[in-house]
Structure 1
Amino acid sequence: MYRVAITGIGIVSCLGNDLESVGAALRNGQSGIVVDPQRVELGFRSPLTGQIKNFDTSILSRKQRKSMPEFAVWAYASARDALEMSGLDEESLQNDQSGLIYGCDSSCLAAIEQVEALLQRGETKGIGSGQIFRSMTSTVTMNLNTLLKTRGACWTLSSACSSSGHAVGQAADLIRMGRQERMICGGAQEVNWQSMCSFDGLGAFSAQLDDPATASRPFDADRDGLVPSGGAASVILERYDLAEKRGATILGELLGYGFSSDGAQLSVPSEDGLSRAMRSALQQSGLATGEIDYLCAHATATPAGDAAEATNIRRVFGDTTPDISALKALTGHELWMSGAAQVVYTAIMAQQGFTAASYNFNQADAGTAGLNIIRETRLRSPGKVLCNSAGFGGTNSSLVIAFS
């Protein structure tokens, strides 16, 4: 079984489009959540959203973007930045040992656009071939495969909000088993009102509109729902010995990946599912619970979800938990990309020498009590980290990472 190195990261986030700006936002508690005026006009119960700002789409030509929804372009940008950090050149990717796995569970806007085009024109021939590829859930990997010319693994993993956590874990497993030597992996999530109508109708979003920056309150007694967000996150994984041999800068090592499913309800997480994923990840990593010094929680700021995760954490760590923070207080819930984004965010912290606080956390309730939640940014790097992600349908992912 081979060791798995992390050699590159990239991010397009409501916190920024480069590692320095995202790091500064995490360190200083700068939220990327806003009120969307269009959602107000449309009658959304909650017009809150994460917002991607100042993104330059000209990194690809108009012809290249024809088959790509906006979030696939974000994925390309994050992958490009991660590859640049890794030092891998084009030639080293164009072989059977280099692959792609991304987490994505929708491409809503493209499907709506092609239906609207049909209704407006009264015929299908004017829709255009690009809409076929834009509307497929696998749009990220099929487009990146064409652009980067990798010839190994190439597929999209779809498991709701744990999608990209599983994508990173499965990519690591392929390397660990000797099936691939290097993997570009991550997740992407569209940011538009069309993809959020049904969520808003369910009353799943925070209605605390007076101060958008404090609306997302993971683990806090006053939490009242999540804030939708998105973007793209990419991670370069390599066989550790090959990364060392070529002189790559190794950011960290992915030690363990665990997964589980609740086998219970569609939208309410269980009190033991995530704990089984955490234990599995720890077992593969070879670490004891006491060796984990930071836990990056999935915590989306929903009353039931946060309480269930707290219960699962206590099942694994008992009365003495590691330092915990919930970064969705700043980013909102990045849905399909959130698992991979946590890997990138914690790697940024490790590189820049701090551990981000769990902002907007003031007081626990009975369900979230007993966790060692960080209230202020700590000026020390996370060392051995556990990242959680979970999704509708009771699907859970946990990753254990040791940062250099």
Structure 2
Amino acid sequence: MNRVVITGMGIYSCIGTTLAEVRTSLYEGKSGIIFSPERKEYGYRSALTGYVPTPDLKSLLGRRERISMGQESEFAYMATREALANASIDTHYLQKNEVGILFGNDSVAESVILTNDKIREKKDTTLVGSGAVFRTMNSTVTMNLSTLFGLRGVNMSISAACASGSHAVGLAYLLIQSGMQDCIICGGAQEVNKYSMGSFDGLGVFSMREEAPTQASRPFDAARDGLVPSGGAAALVLESYESAMRRGVTPIAEVVGYGFSSNGGHISTPNVDGPAQAMARALQNARMQASDIDYINAHATSTPIGDANEAKAIHQIFGSQTPVSSTKALTGHECWMAGASEIVYATLMMQHNFIAPNINFENPDADSQKLRIIAETTQISIRAFLSNSFGFGGTNSAIIVKK
């Protein structure tokens, strides 16, 4: 069984569009949440969102390449560029070696809507353009990235709601561990346009604290009233330890455990047993005890039931002493990318010996008071962390990474 290491990371998010910017935001507890007048005018009950700048790709890609890319693919391209550079992988290496790609993505709302709007307006399907078909498929991210970077290994998009990015990392870990691949680019991407989250808003799951955007996402706090949608992209380069040594690069960290489960119950309401099973399986897969984990990056999205049930699950497996925080307090819920971005966030913390604050945690409830929630930036040596990701349909994923 091959050891699996992280040799590169890239991030494009509302708290920074480079690893350096994101590290600073994490340490300073800087929120990326804003109020969007465009969303309010469009009909959203809550116009809160993470602000992610539109990348300028004109200097990087030709028009023929850009017309196949929707917003999520643009974000993913930027994150992957940084991850490859961070891993010291260039075009020559990609041409000479088999590198795979697994990305989590579960929507292409803007591309689908704009394409069909044009058809309705013009009454002519030939006017949508040659890139429309590639923008409107759910595999658009891996389809574009595998082509742009000339990848010849495994090539799949993972669609698993808000656990998509985490499962992409977990599956990459298993493929490399088994020896089927030496190197895989994995991650998650999430569009942030006004078309992408309207149906979620209609469910009433978003925070209504529009007067105080940066205080709206408050995981584990007793006064939480819903999540804040966000997005962007995160990419990680995973490869076998032997591959990294052959290339002469120093691994950033090592992926040692992956656990998963399905709740098998309500389509949107989470439970306790499913998340607990995923965490227990990750520990078993890593051959580690709960006491070996120095930090838990919680899924906690700032919803009343979700946070409460995760707190119960964490307490069931880890007790009360392990430090816990949710970086969604800063970023909002990055949905399909969250499982990957939060591994990047936690790895940055592990590299630089701190835990980012779970901001807006002012008063615990009956469940969160049983946990050691980190509400302020804390200097600590992290040898190993566990990252949770859960999604609609009851899908659960837990990843363990160590120094």
- 1:194 match: secondary structure: coil
State the distance in 1 between where 2:63 and 2:223 align: 46
Contact 2:262 2:395 in 1 (8 A): yes
Q: Secondary structure at the match of 1:336?
A: helix
Quote the residue 1:322 is aligned against: 322
Query: 1:101 and 2:102 equivalent?
Result: yes
Q: How much does 1:372 deviate?
A: 0.5
Q: Provide TM-score, normalisation by structure 2.
A: 0.97
Shift of residue 54 of structure 1? 6.2
Q: Secondary structure in 1 aligned to 2:355?
A: coil
Tell me how far apart the structure 1 counterparts of residues 376 and 222 of structure 2 sit (CA, whole Å): 18
Output the CA distance in 2 between the equivalents of 1:147 and 1:293: 38
- Describe the SS at the equivalent of 2:197: helix
Question: Is structure 2 residue 127 aligned with structure 1 residue 126?
Answer: yes
CA distance in 1, matches of 2:334, 2:278: 21
Deviates more, 1:238-247 or 1:391-400: 238-247
Name the residue aligned to 2:208.
207
Establish whether residue 219 from structure 1 lines up as the match of residue 211 from structure 2. no
Asked whether the 8 Å contact 1:99–1:154 carries over to 2, the reply is yes
What amino acid maps onto 1:141 in structure 2? T
Change (3 A) 1:30 1:336: same
Matches within 5 A, 1:2-401: 2-53=2-53, 55-58=55-58, 59-94=60-95, 97-318=98-319, 320-401=320-401
1:338, 1:57 → 2: CA distance?
23
- The letter for the 1-side match of 2:343 is V
- Structure 2 CA distance, aligned partners of 1:18 and 1:236? 16
- In structure 2, give the amino acid aligned to 1:280: R
1:152 shift after superposition: 1.0
Counterpart contact for 1:71–1:232, Cα < 8 Å: yes
Contact persistence 1:161–1:339 (CA under 8 A) = yes
CA RMSD of superposed structures (Å): 1.2
Q: Is the 8 A contact 1:257 1:397 kept in 2?
A: yes
Please say if residues 17 and 55 of structure 1, whose CA atoms lie closer than 8 Å, have aligned partners that are also in contact.
no
> Retained in 2: the 8 A contact 1:102–1:156?
yes
Q: Per the alignment, in what secondary structure is the counterpart of residue 78 of structure 1?
A: helix
C-alpha distance in structure 2 between counterparts of 1:76 and 1:43, whole Å? 31
Structure 1 contact 97–179 (Cα < 8 Å) conserved: no
Q: Residues of 2 paired with 1:10 and 1:383: CA distance?
A: 21
Q: Quick check: 2:55–2:74 contact (8 Å CA) kept in 1?
A: no
Secondary structure of the corresponding residue to residue 57 of structure 1: coil
Q: Aligned partner of 1:160: which letter?
A: A
AA aligned to 2:159 is: S
TM-score w.r.t. the length of structure 1 is 0.97
CA contact (8 A) 1:219 1:301 kept: yes
Contact 1:355 1:381 in 2 (8 A): no
**Contact (CA 8 Å) 1:217, 1:359: kept in 2 or not?**
yes
Q: Secondary structure at the match of 1:397?
A: strand
Structure 1 Cα separation of the partners of residues 244 and 370 of structure 2:
40
Distance 2:160 2:97 in 1: 26
Q: Distance in 2 between matches of 1:126 and 1:352?
A: 51
Q: Is the 8 A contact 2:300 2:328 kept in 1?
A: yes
Q: Is the 8 A contact 2:100 2:155 kept in 1?
A: yes
Q: Partner amino acid for 2:127?
A: G
Gaps of 5+ in 2: none
**Counterpart-to-counterpart distance in 2, 1:260 and 1:74:** 29
Matched AA of 1:225? G
Task: Give SS of 2:282's match.
Answer: helix
Deviation of 1:20 (Å):
1.0
The answer on whether the counterparts of 2:329 and 2:359 sit within 8 Å (CA) in structure 1 is yes
1:193-217 CA distances to partner (integer Å, 9 max, x unpaired)?
Answer: 1111111111110001111001000
In the alignment, the residues of structure 2 paired with residue 288 and residue 92 of structure 1 have an alpha-carbon distance, to the nearest angstrom, of 38
Contact 1:161 1:389 (8 Å CA) reproduced: yes
Q: What is the CA distance between 1:373 and its match in structure 2? A: 0.4
Give the drift of 1:241: 1.7
Q: Can you list the C-alpha shifts for 1:54-102, whole angstroms capped at 9, x where unaligned? A: 6332332222110010210110111111010111222322367310000
What amino acid maps onto 2:19 in structure 1?
L
Tell whether the 8 Å contact from 1:141 to 1:155 is kept in structure 2 after alignment. Answer: yes
Q: State whether residues 186 and 237 of structure 2, in contact with CA within 8 Å, keep that contact through their aligned partners in structure 1.
A: yes
| CA deviations over 1:224-246 (Å, ceiling 9, x no partner) | 00000000000000101220232
Cα distance between partner residues in 2 of 1:120 and 1:33:
35
Q: How many residues matched?
A: 402
Tell me the SS of whatever aligns to 2:256: strand
Query: Mean Cα displacement is larger for which, 146-155 or 34-43?
Result: 34-43
Q: Is the 8 A contact 2:296 2:324 kept in 1?
A: yes
What one-letter code is carried by the residue in structure 2 that aligns with 1:192?
N
Identity %: 48
In 1, distance between residues paired with 2:9 and 2:259?
21
CA distance in 1, matches of 2:185, 2:282: 21
Gaps of at least 5 residues in structure 1 are: none
> Is the CA contact 2:49–2:228 (under 8 Å) kept in the aligned structure 1?
yes
Q: Distance in 2 between matches of 1:195 and 1:337?
A: 14
Instruction: Give the ranges of 4+ consecutive aligned residues of structure 1 lying more than 3 Å apart after TM superposition.
Output: 94-97
CA drift of 1:324 comes to 0.5
